[in-house]
Chains A and B, each alone.
Chain A
């Protein structure tokens, strides 16, 4: 199998698995208890938290573990809204956020009287900070803009946005699920108040994430109960996952420079080959301000779903659009937001490289895509009409 869906999830690294195993077995203590075995668990949780804090350049007390990126996004947005609603009810976000942000904002609009501005993006998927600033009203209490887009890989001007948020004294949250350990993040320079991340995107375990909450930011809990996570997130800690997350973060951070350098080379090689060798296709997202591992291409006159199924039959795992509840594909809201037609959005393919991806993988994949696209186009009435008009 050639796995090119690392934005969906990554392979859990062997050293991550090894580090976790004892905490499933003999080291089963509850970190909140007082006896020795519990102490071991507590120590492990503290270590995981420190490892992550080091990578992000923040203090461990600012890292709060959650069950994943979606919970972190939900928490940041709902709790910020609740905590600030005496000052206003307006949230600014973008049309290309992950559904964990978009659907949470829609929920607040529907059920809690929030007013939400969903900013447009340009054809590369970039948010315009000036437009964001114009959207600010006296009621604005939260800005949430993703660090980098999960579908088209565009890296947003987070530092400019953070500066604006700070000038206007508005809380700033960023969903960094795709960016953490892929690009260097300076939370202080970017004035980030809250940041979401997820373990399984960086060769760590699933079911674990964190929300960074800058010291001094006062937001309430989302999950109520015990006093874990400095009383801000109840529930017995997922000790093995926290251990694995810590190891994964350190590991990904240490390898980031060399890994992303390699990925950028392979990414650009793949993009160049596809654009050169397959007619009527386009790259989605910004060519340069782009996640190191993201390739997203629209093929005209091709049904993305058929392309994906045929790639799967050839043992190549890729993705397209946003997976809906059933696993079938809707046209991506991100691709529609950057101005693609429904048809073009339907014919899109996302391939996200990982630390194990080789040049050979890329070459095989490009050859398969060429053959499949040719076949699908040969059966497309739209393509036939188009070709007739060309002559």
Chain B
């Protein structure tokens, strides 16, 4: 009997062609769109984009019909609320800058979808990522960018577990983006030509501060901007409005370029400093996940290429296990705006080796 695979479909080119390729390869393919976002009112339905909105459902259903595969919408609203939105709010309220895509991947797209897919009899789940899952000589699984991908498709997936990777297929990772587009047009897939979005899907207008205020129902209190010596140099609009490294929108006339260095939720202060203060050599991270390497024993060090945010091109570093759940990473060339809450992802030979949350 052929293996069953659930393909997470957004109606876009990549996941649609992923479903097609797997069908061609002889898999028993089931299309699924995950409903994650909460109640949509009549007016916002019109504009909703993202991978999982209502328009995604309509587009994906059309594709499934053309591919002649069964298609279902699965409801993950509760999981998304709990594991992504609550986490997002919590992190911001504690002065950190979260990456909700990482949480969504780990807990919703993989954990919850995989579990339900296995329950309905699937052997694998598949996605339209331009990435490859390598089965390393030591037996471990690790994600690697497909060579031709312009976008980094690995950073936000660093937190997947070995069990999740063992059950995951990424069929478009073997192709160039142009080839995938060509396949889509050859087989006349009615795919939506959506623009790639870097926005957080549940805060479409980028206004995180208002989102958090709406969600929590309370206004963030104003507080002080202070310099590195603790001197008050102005008033801020509430800590959720700021992120480390931010320059614009501070509203302080300092006569020089100034930046957010640190957010201190316990005193409700935002620390401001010069550009030189934004750079640092050391990055500490916890909530570790080991992917390509099995472990880094306490006290031991290893060299990697490290990324401290999505879009960071990566820099050489040495990571040392400094605690049960802590890595301390030294970058010989200092990195800009190390932001608590973002991920530190460590690469070895192009694979994701390990990662954690920046402290």
Contacts and interface: CB of A to CB of B under 8 A. Distances in A.
Interface in B55-75: 57, 70, 72-75
A382 to B, nearest CB: 12
Given A327-B57, A329-B75, A306 B120 contact: yes
B77 to A, nearest CB: 7
B121 A305 contact: no
A328 B35 contact: yes
A309 B75 CA distance: 12
A326 B70 contact: no
B6 to A, nearest CB: 10
A376 interface: yes
Given A325-B45, A325-B54, A328-B35, A309 B72 contact: yes
A376 B121 CA distance: 10
B33 interface: yes
A21 interface: no
A379 B118 contact: yes
A324 B41 CA distance: 12
Q: Residue among B35, B40, B57, B118 with the most chain A CB within 10 A?
A: B35
Contacts of B115: 379
Q: Residue among A303, A306, A310 with the most chain B CB within 10 A?
A: A306
Interface in B28-49: 33, 35, 40, 45
B57 to A, nearest CB: 4
B119 interface: yes
Contacts, number: 44
Nearest to A308: B72
A379 B70 CA distance: 23
Given A305-B75, A309-B72, A326 B33 contact: yes
A185 B70 CA distance: 41
A1 interface: no
B287 interface: no
Contacts of A305: 74-75, 116
Interface in B114-154: 115-116, 118-121
A111 B310 CA distance: 44
Contacts of A375: 119, 121
B40 A313 contact: no
B316 to A, nearest CB: 42
A272 interface: no
Nearest to B39: A324
Interface in A321-348: 324-330, 342
A106 to B, nearest CB: 12
A320 to B, nearest CB: 11
Q: Residue among B33, B35, B119, B121 with the most chain A CB within 10 A?
A: B119
A303 B116 contact: yes
Nearest to B40: A325
B74 A328 contact: yes
B57 A326 contact: yes
A310 B121 contact: yes
Contact of A330 (B45, B54, B77): B77
Contact of A306 (B33, B54, B119): B119
Contacts of B73: 326-328
A227 to B, nearest CB: 31
A306 B76 CA distance: 12
Contact of B119 (A325, A342, A379): A379
B120 A310 contact: yes
A313 B72 CA distance: 11
B113 to A, nearest CB: 12
6 contacts: A306-B119, A324-B35, A324-B75, A326-B35, A328-B35, A330-B75
Given A310-B120, A326-B57, A328-B35, 14 more contacts: A306-B120, A309-B72, A310-B121, A312-B72, A313-B70, A313-B120, A325-B40, A325-B54, A327-B57, A328-B73, A328-B75, A330-B75, A330-B77, A375-B119
Interface of A: 303, 305-306, 309-310, 312-313, 324-330, 342, 375-376, 379
Interface of B: 33, 35, 40, 45, 54, 57, 70, 72-75, 77-78, 115-116, 118-121
CB-CB nearest 8 A-B residue pairs = A328-B75, A328-B73, A328-B35, A326-B57, A327-B73, A306-B119, A326-B73, A326-B35
